[in-house]
Structure 1
Amino acid sequence: MAPRDNERPSPARSRLLNTAKKAFYQDGIRSVGIDRIVAEAQVTRATLYRHFAGKDDLVLAYLDEVHQAMRGQVHDAAAKELPADTIRALGRSIAHSIQSPGFRGCAFLNAVAEYPDPGHPVHQAVLAHRQWFLNTITHLLARSREAPAETAARHFVMLRDGAMAAGCLFDPSLVSDTFLRGVEGLLQARATIAPGA
């Protein structure tokens, strides 16, 4: 259970969540057991279950942390920049993450690969995050260009997904550069992308 807005999370909950975030991202969700989380966070099993109903609840809290961090990035960039520059700033942030040490791709794409059942709460959390991301990019593009915004936003999301996957396999600098050029191409295009393309 997440803490209420006016409550600070307990130090034990924070340790559990930070431990889980690192372990799930580095080694995969299914391969990391509760025993490892408890040992590395230096808490008891009872403490873990006081804060989280089970592993799935911990996974959902991990994904929510990643989602909230991305929302914060968008909010901070949008407060300072024009819509097109906000998209550029997001592109630079994505490119930077691809080149960061320990990069292992998109936390959400990794999670959905491990939870393929569309009815599972983790799968649903991934879909909700991706819909929010697509809606956010669509809104920014609608304010910054004349071409159909939803089509261009889907292209942006596909560019990002491809870059996140390729960044694990190929030269991250080259992948980041290619991704940023693709983002700039989307922003420079006007009515050249037909609806439904």
Structure 2
Amino acid sequence: MTELEKGPQGRRRGRGARERILSASQQLFRDQGINRTGMDQLSAVAQVSKRTAYQHFAGKDELVAEYLRRFDPDVMAGVFDRTDLTPRERLLAAFEIPESTPLCPYIAAAVELHDPQHPASRYARDYKTAIAGRFTDTAREAGATDPERLGEQLALLLDGAAARTRVLDGDSFPTAAAIAAVLIDHALPAASPGQPDE
């Protein structure tokens, strides 16, 4: 092992340290927020030296961006890529959020950072755009008359439910799902008598 592969006191750096730092960031950013979490605390929880933390991440901004980038890289693939559900069912499944699921870190990061040019803010925007895109694609597949509009409505509704759940410390997703069902049914053309469903 070369000296470059060792951290302080000869402890091995590498993937293990990086993963511990990211794991600590997930816990601390969720529990106390990004702004209240310092690199000293992150290093202590991750059991790495501050020097090692900075060898893996140039600074806290880079760590925050990586934390968000890794949170849901497939943009709700567990919902939108399901083949056992119809497109309409997939649209509704996006609102079936288990209570144990951490609430949207992208909303929390955007609110805390106040900087639209921060790398994490860009990841948050990209993710939110991708969610609306997945809703739009699925709405198109379901036969919606205006899939872009329905996609944006459902994305906004999902974000609203996440924010309300966070603020009120309650579960707003069942109500959001009921509203989503009305929006979806209104956006899908009713089959005329004598015409096959699309």
The CA distance in 2 between the partners of 1:149 and 1:84, in whole Å, is 12
Q: CA deviation at 1:177?
A: 1.8
For these two proteins, the number of residue pairs brought into alignment is 176
Q: CA deviation at 1:69?
A: 5.9
Equivalent residue, structure 2, for 1:100 = 100
CA displacement, residues 89-130 of structure 1 (integer Å, 9 cap, x when unaligned): 22213xx2xx338x5x42101111122222222211111111
Q: How does 1:2-151 map to 2 (within 5 A)?
A: 10-68=15-73, 70-74=75-79, 77-93=81-97, 96=98, 99-100=99-100, 103=102, 105-151=103-149
Q: CA deviation at 1:171?
A: 6.4
The CA distance in 1 between the partners of 2:73 and 2:42, in whole Å, is 22
The CA distance in 2 between the partners of 1:19 and 1:72, in whole Å, is 25
Point out which structure has higher relative CO (alpha carbons under 8 A, 6+ apart): 1
2:178 to 174, 178, 181: 181
Mark the runs of 5 or more structure 2 residues left unpaired by the alignment. Answer: 1-13, 190-198
| Residue 154 (structure 1) aligned with residue 159 (structure 2) | no
Are the counterparts in 1 of residues 75 and 130 from structure 2 also a CA contact under 8 Å? no
Are the counterparts in 2 of residues 134 and 157 from structure 1 also a CA contact under 8 Å? yes
CA displacement, residues 120-145 of structure 1 (integer Å, 9 cap, x when unaligned): 22211111111111111110111113
CA displacement, residues 124-176 of structure 1 (integer Å, 9 cap, x when unaligned): 11111111111111101111133201111111111111111111233624x22
Moved over 3 A (4+): 69-72
Q: CA deviation at 1:50?
A: 1.9
Residue 167 and residue 37 in structure 1: after superposition, are their counterparts in 2 closer, same or farther (change >3 A)? same
Q: CA deviation at 1:64?
A: 0.8
Q: CA deviation at 1:82?
A: 2.5
RMSD: 2.1
TM-score (norm 1): 0.80
The CA distance in 1 between the partners of 2:116 and 2:169, in whole Å, is 33
The CA distance in 2 between the partners of 1:128 and 1:70, in whole Å, is 10
Amino acid at match of 2:106: F
The CA distance in 1 between the partners of 2:26 and 2:169, in whole Å, is 25
Bigger radius of gyration among the two: 2
Question: What is the DSSP-based 3-state SS (H/G/I as helix, E as strand, rest coil) of the residue aligned with 1:92?
Answer: coil
Mark the runs of 5 or more structure 1 residues left unpaired by the alignment. Answer: 1-8, 193-197
Q: CA deviation at 1:187?
A: 2.1
The CA distance in 2 between the partners of 1:71 and 1:171, in whole Å, is 23
Amino acid at match of 1:15: R
The CA distance in 2 between the partners of 1:60 and 1:169, in whole Å, is 24
Amino acid at match of 1:122: A
Q: CA deviation at 1:191?
A: 5.8
CA displacement, residues 55-111 of structure 1 (integer Å, 9 cap, x when unaligned): 111101100111326444245x43433222222222213xx2xx338x5x4210111
Identity over aligned pairs, percent: 26
